[in-house]
Amino acid sequence: MKYLIVGVSAAGMSAVKALLEKDPQGEITVVSKDDCPYSRIMMYRLLAGEMDKKAILFEKDDFLERNRVQWYRGREAVGGDTEAKKIRLDDGTELSYDKLLLATGAFAVIPPIPGLREAKNVHPFRDLPDEEALNRYCGQNVKAVIIGGGLVGLDAAYAFCKRGIPVAVVEMMDHIMGLQLDFDTAKEYQKLFENAGAKFYLGRKVEKVVLDCDFADSVELDNGASLPCDVIVAAAGVRPNTALAEKLGLQVNRGVTVNDKMETSVPHVYAAGDVTGLSGVWQNAMAQGKAAGVNMSGGEAVYETRFAQRNMFNYFGEMAVSLGDVSAPDAEIVIQHEGRNTIKAFHRDGIVLGAILQRDIMKASLWQKIIEEKISIEPFKSDLFHINL
């Protein structure tokens, strides 16, 4: 059996491992624009100068070669024919398959702000080439503007602060990391960034980017403020990368449409990870990839575990993990402290929707279980730090 996997991040690598286990005699080929299996969530540490490239790999660089997987590094699948069961690469190479998995991930969105898409010094912060592009500005006398105060925007801001680059963050919401933090916790982290030299423009929109010879020279906000810049980071969200799927004639809605076996609308073609639009959680991508790999090899697996949203971050030595939904407007909040450690539980009618653990995050998995299983907060409401389930 010939297996072809497009993409080598969480879903793609998880599928490879499932195939190696279920069909050790199978012929596995992987195609990826990336030249190594790296962790996107650790890229900010690389840009900050706190880690090297080897440290952000989530799998050893020779894993595929050691397991006799043929790997087309730095190549992009640009088309194909699902009836002939062939995929075409950007260099003209054609690869045949019996079973195909699309794990093409997502791409960063550049908002349609006048001047933004035209500027040559505007970069997302999604992939390793983005980090490499931004790294070229470090060590220079430059100013940075980041459009978007979510997790990716703050990752970039942290790295720039660590590299001594003045940075301004523009965010439409009234607080940073709106999907990961409540207002009060966000203010704590905002203060850490401000102490490191960052400036924040909250509740503001970028109206236009002023260009000078095709390069962004300044950013104009909706209140008339003008922010000078030498580089702009666009951190305004991502979308499933469905370009290949659409060329192959697969059904696409928000992402590639799949059933619980990760099968697409075209026979023998599967999809997993961010390209499905089902979830941006790393654990979910791995679970989808595993289910796809098992089913591709003739086994029976159903993707049914939906892990709660989970984001862990460590800025300036202050670690936290955000779980589930912490932004529901009608949620009640229970806050408890133990030393410098804090737990905030967000619940509606007693059912835990989300939680934020600050500094001591050892019980993050326990809280994830509480959220996923819709467990009532009442039995442990008086002591969030010592829970026995």
Per-residue model confidence (pLDDT) at position 305:
66
pLDDT band at 197; cut points 50, 70, 90 = very high
pLDDT band at 306; cut points 50, 70, 90 = low
What average pLDDT does range 303-307 have in this prediction?
A: 74
Largest CA distance in the chain: 64
Token pair listed for 81 = 């024919």
Place of tokens 């989970």: 310
Looking at residue 239, its amino acid is R
Alpha carbon distance 28, 119 (integer Å)? 41
State the chain's mean pLDDT as an integer: 95
Per-residue model confidence (pLDDT) at position 282:
84
Looking at residue 30, its amino acid is V
Per-residue model confidence (pLDDT) at position 61:
80
pLDDT in tens, 139-185: 889 999 999 999 999 999 999 999 999 999 999 999 999 999 999 99
Token pair listed for 188 = 């704590």
Domains present along the chain, CATH in parentheses: 2-107+239-296 (3.50.50.60), 122-234 (3.50.50.60), 313-380 (3.30.390.30)
pLDDT band at 307; cut points 50, 70, 90 = low
- Tell me: pLDDT of 200 over 90: yes
Angle at 195 between CA 189 and CA 201, to 5 degrees: 65
Backbone phi and psi for residue 195, each to the nearest 5 degrees, phi listed first: -65, -25
pLDDT band at 389; cut points 50, 70, 90 = confident
Per-residue model confidence (pLDDT) at position 328:
86
pTM more than 0.85: yes
3-class secondary structure for the chain? CEEEEECCCHHHHHHHHHHHHHCCCCEEEEEECCCCCECHHHHHHHHCCCCCHHHHECCCCCHHHHCCCEEEECCCEEEEECCCCEEEECCCCEEECCEEEECCCEEECCCCCCCCCCCCCEECCCCHHHHHHHHCCCCCCCCEEEECCCHHHHHHHHHHHHCCCCEEEEECCCCCCCCCCCHHHHHHHHHHHHHCCCEEEECCCEEEEEEECCEEEEEEECCCCEEECCEEEECCCEEECCHHHHHCCCCECCCECCCCCCECCCCCEEECHHHHCCCCCHHHHHHHHHHHHHHHCCCCCCCCCCCCCEEEEEECCEEEEEEECCCCCCCEEEEEEECCEEEEEEEECCEEEEEEEECCCCCHHHHHHHHHCCCECHHHCCCCCCCCC
Alpha carbon distance 289, 272 (integer Å)? 5
pLDDT in tens, 233-277: 999 999 999 999 999 999 999 899 999 999 999 999 999 999 999
Backbone phi and psi for residue 314, each to the nearest 5 degrees, phi listed first: -140, 100
- Tell me: pLDDT of 218 over 80: yes
Alpha carbon distance 82, 96 (integer Å)? 10
Token pair listed for 223 = 């209140």
